[in-house]
């Protein structure tokens, strides 16, 4: 044996591993087909992607699943998130291994906190190259560990369909959340046998959520029903879980039967008709000057029974856990047993919000009429006085003609938009202006905001995702100028896919929240909080969209009318007062400091 032949033995050779650029044969039925067939059965109509893993998209196009080609992965995942929230159907996104996968992380964190089911199919490096510093190789399992509900790699071709179905079931059952399937191109192009079509019936069909609707025990429900009858000042706090569970109708029913005052969190906005005499509006850390919450605060602070439904009882929703009275009795309805009792010792009701509220309403039906009408008699007039006081306090701002325009006035104008509207907003002040000053006049109105983790730049892609899920609705999105800059590129995505959303940019020339947060903590702010002059309409036009720059009320009205009939995405760039900030209670002291 000479020395060369020893070197040539396969085990000793470090030379080219198979995989990366090997020509792949996709004829016949392959793993990609098996996975896509499960998606099709799960009702998936579009996949958010950038053509990778290619085998998935070739298989998807063959069965009529369209691809929405995002410009950036982080925007793509926000689109997928909003599409799932609006359609109550799992969304699917794909990404290449490495840097592309990493850009899904923030969006997955949002979806985890907001309980939104998304399936990410992430390309893995070829199996033969794993752990050799293959191109763009990172540890995806560790990467998604903190933000996904479940992560698995598909290694065996015959089990690809099974894993895909399981991923969808896990994402949509219990507390919904995002999941990841890792699969390499070599596995995707392996041959396999078609599996039998999966059962798909009714509202438990694969891909829909909530997958299962559990209810607490009768004893626990009866205990809460009794507490509700006995309470003098009950309060139900509705979180985003009401929308996830499709529980608006059961909530309205319970409110009617029990004469129950209902407030919402930012995420729960739209859960109730805010013109209902027992609706308190949005509460939490936004109960300062000119908020409805300020005028409802005395009721909240004197509640003797607080029922949380589908809310994380997080910092903002509870004003840093200071808002609700210590002496009150608490009950919490949530699908996630780990959320129940997290921050408030309570009567535990682990179950689906819609099914549990319905079961509660059933128990109270016929028993609560006297209590309900007494409460209505006592509280409706009090709440109406609070609303009146709020209207009077807000009017000078909501009706102001001053320029640069006050955001409250901008809200007055956009709230006049008619028709079936899905509202969307970016993080920062935009979502607060929106939920504070555009009223929900129908239980179930959607206000799509990234308040899971409040990432900047989600608003516009969320609007695009909402429009994809419900093209017959008008979508109006509010965003700050800072947040808009995170995602301009997706205007082109919206135009390319024929998605005429209206985007209102609050152009205050500053990172507004950042300034107020720094002023609050340090009495000063740093130099990068101010932008130079900027032309957002030019950006819109460059992307093939339309737009108008606006600096007064008359122009704003014209722009809103033009946007309503435009068949292009339309950007309204509104010069806005940089001194204005929404009623975040913690910023109250700055009202005196900065004269308006």
Q: Which two tokens stand for residue 247?
A: 């529980």
- Give, in degrees to the nearest 5, the angle at Cα 208 between 203 and 210: 80
Q: What is the 8-class DSSP label of residue 368?
A: S
Residue 429 interacts, among ligand TPP, Mg ion, none and using kind-specific CB cut-offs from 5 to 8 Å, with ligand TPP
| Kind and range of the H or E run holding 122 | strand 118-123
Give me the least distance between CB of 306 and ligand TPP, in Å please. 29
Dist. CA 41–CA 207, nearest whole Å: 8
Cα 30–chain centre separation: 34
For Mg ion, the binding residue among 480, 547, 582, 583 (CB under 5 A) is: 480
Task: Choose one: 226-234, 282-290, 439-447, 508-516; the region binding Mg ion (CB under 5 A).
Answer: 508-516
Tell me the closest approach of the beta carbon of residue 117 to ligand TPP, in angstroms.
23
Pairwise CA distance, residues 94 & 79, whole Å: 12
b/e code 248-263 from CB counts within 10 Å (16+ = b): bebbbbbbebbbbbbb
Write the interaction track for ligand TPP spanning residues 425-454; mark x where CB under 6 A is met and - where it is not: --xxxx-----------------------x
CB of 180 to Mg ion, least distance (A): 34
* Minimum gap (Å) between residue 591 Cβ and ligand TPP: 16
* Residue 456 interacts with ligand TPP (CB under 6 A): yes or no: yes
- CB of 267 or CB of 456, closer to ligand TPP: 456
Beta carbon nearer to ligand TPP, 494 or 584: 584
The pair phi, psi for residue 203, each rounded to 5°, is -80, -5
33 vs 479 by CB, closer to ligand TPP: 479
What is the C-alpha to C-alpha distance for residues 383 and 274, in angstroms, rounded to an integer?
Answer: 12
Please identify which residue in 508, 553, 569, 583 interacts with ligand TPP, judged by CB under 6 A: 508
List strand residue ranges (DSSP E) for 301-443, in order.
305-309, 329-334, 347-350, 421-425
Peptide bond into 280 cis (omega under 30): no
Peptide bond into 210 cis (omega under 30): yes
**Shortest Å, Cβ 587 to Mg ion:** 15
Task: Return d(Cα 287, Cα 583) in angstroms, integer.
Answer: 6
Q: Does 488 bind ligand TPP (CB under 6 A)?
A: no
What residue is closest to Mg ion based on CB? 480
Under the binding rule (CB under 6 A), the answer on residue 514 touching ligand TPP is: yes
385 vs 391: CA distance, rounded Å: 10
Least Å from the CB of residue 484 to ligand TPP: 7
Among 186, 339, 481, 490, binds Mg ion (CB under 5 A): 481
Residue 455 binds ligand TPP, judged by CB under 6 A: yes
Q: Which of 216, 383, 376, 357 is nearest to 299 (CA)?
A: 383
DSSP annotation string for 409-451: HHHHHHTT--SSEEEEE-TTHHHHHHHHHS---STT--EE--T
97 binds, among ligand TPP, Mg ion, none (CB under 5 to 8 A by kind): none
User: Looking at 216, 512, 547, 582, which residue binds Mg ion (CB under 5 A)?
Assistant: 512
**Closest to ligand TPP by CB, 34 or 580:** 580
Q: Where are the alpha helices (DSSP H) in 259-290?
A: none
Q: How far is CA 570 from CA 318, 460, 471, 492, in A?
A: 36, 11, 15, 11
How many chain residues interact with ligand TPP (CB under 6 A)? 19
In whole angstroms, what is the distance from residue 32 CA to residue 560 CA? 45
Taking CB within 5 to 8 Å according to partner kind, which of ligand TPP, Mg ion, none is near residue 470? Answer: none
User: 339 contacts which partner out of ligand TPP, Mg ion, none, CB within 5 to 8 A by kind?
Assistant: none
Per CB under 6 A, does 73 bind ligand TPP? no
Residue 508 near Mg ion by CB under 5 A: yes
Q: Pattern of binders to ligand TPP over 295-334, x per CB under 6 A?
A: ----------------------------------------
Contact flag: residue 506 with ligand TPP (CB under 6 A): yes
Per the CB < 8 A criterion, the answer to whether 160 and 182 are in contact is: no
Q: Which of 76, 480, 500, 569 binds ligand TPP (CB under 6 A)?
A: 480
- Return the range that interacts with Mg ion (CB under 5 A); candidates 81-89, 160-168, 308-316, 481-489: 481-489
Q: Catalog residues that contact Mg ion under the rule CB under 5 A.
A: 480-482, 508, 512
Q: Catalog residues that contact ligand TPP under the rule CB under 6 A.
A: 427-430, 454-457, 480-483, 506, 508, 510-514
């Amino acid at each position: 044996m000479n020395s060369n032949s020893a070197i040539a033995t396969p085990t000793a050779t470090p030379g080219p591993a198979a995989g990366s650029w090997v020509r792949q044969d996709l004829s016949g039925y392959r793993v990609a087909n098996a996975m896509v067939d499960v998606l099709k059965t799960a009702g998936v109509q579009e996949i958010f992607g950038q053509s990778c893993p290619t085998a998935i998209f070739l298989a998807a196009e063959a069965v009529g699943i369209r691809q929405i080609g995002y410009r950036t992965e982080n925007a793509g995942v926000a689109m997928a998130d909003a599409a799932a929230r609006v359609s109550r159907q799992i969304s699917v996104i794909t990404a290449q291994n490495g840097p592309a996968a990493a850009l899904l992380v923030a969006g997955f964190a949002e979806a985890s906190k907001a309980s939104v089911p998304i399936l990410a199919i992430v390309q893995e490096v070829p199996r033969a190259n794993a752990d050799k510093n293959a191109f763009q190789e990172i540890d995806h399992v560790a990467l998604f560990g903190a933000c996904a509900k479940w992560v698995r790699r598909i290694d065996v071709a015959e089990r690809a369909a099974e894993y895909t179905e399981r991923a969808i079931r896990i994402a949509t059952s219990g507390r919904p959340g995002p999941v990841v399937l890792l699969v390499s191109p070599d596995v995707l192009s392996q041959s396999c046998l078609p599996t039998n079509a999966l059962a798909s019936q009714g509202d438990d069909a694969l891909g829909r959520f909530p997958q299962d609707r559990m209810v607490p025990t009768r004893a626990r429900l009866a205990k809460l029903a009794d507490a509700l009858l006995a309470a003098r000042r009950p309060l139900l706090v509705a979180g985003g879980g009401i929308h996830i569970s499709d529980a608006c109708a059961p909530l309205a029913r319970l409110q009617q039967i029990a004469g129950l005052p209902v407030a919402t969190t930012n995420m729960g906005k739209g859960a109730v008709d805010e013109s209902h005499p027992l609706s308190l509006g949005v509460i939490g850390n936004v109960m300062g000057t000119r908020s409805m919450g300020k005028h409802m605060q005395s009721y909240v602070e004197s509640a003797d029974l607080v029922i949380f439904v589908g809310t994380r009882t997080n910092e903002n929703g509870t004003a840093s856990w200071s808002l609700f009275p210590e002496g009150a009795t608490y009950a919490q309805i949530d699908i996630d047993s780990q959320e129940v009792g997290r921050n408030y010792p309570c009567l535990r009701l682990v179950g689906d919000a819609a099914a549990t509220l319905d079961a509660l309403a059933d128990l109270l039906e016929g028993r609560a009429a006297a209590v309900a009408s007494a409460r209505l008699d006592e509280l409706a007039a009090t709440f109406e006085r609070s609303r009146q006081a709020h209207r009077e306090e807000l009017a000078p701002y909501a009706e102001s003609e001053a320029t640069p325009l006050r955001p409250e006035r901008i809200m007055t104008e956009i709230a006049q938009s008619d028709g079936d509207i899905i509202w969307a907003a970016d993080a920062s002040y935009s979502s607060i202006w929106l939920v504070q000053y555009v009223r929900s006049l129908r239980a179930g109105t959607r206000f799509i905001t990234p308040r899971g983790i409040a990432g900047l730049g989600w608003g516009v892609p969320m609007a695009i995702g909402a429009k994809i899920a419900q093209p017959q609705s008008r979508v109006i999105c509010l965003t700050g100028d800072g947040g808009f800059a995170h995602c301009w590129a997706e205007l082109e995505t919206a135009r390319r896919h024929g998605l005429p959303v209206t985007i209102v940019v609050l152009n205050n020339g500053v990172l507004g929240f950042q300034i107020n947060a720094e002023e609050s903590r340090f009495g000063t702010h740093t130099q990068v909080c101010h932008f130079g002059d900027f032309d957002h309409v030019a950006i819109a036009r460059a992307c093939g969209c339309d737009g108008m720059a606006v600096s007064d009320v008359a122009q704003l009205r014209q722009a809103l009318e033009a946007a309503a009939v435009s068949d292009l995405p339309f950007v309204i760039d509104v010069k806005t007062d940089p001194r204005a900030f929404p009623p975040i209670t913690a910023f109250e002291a700055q009202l005196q400091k900065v004269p308006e």
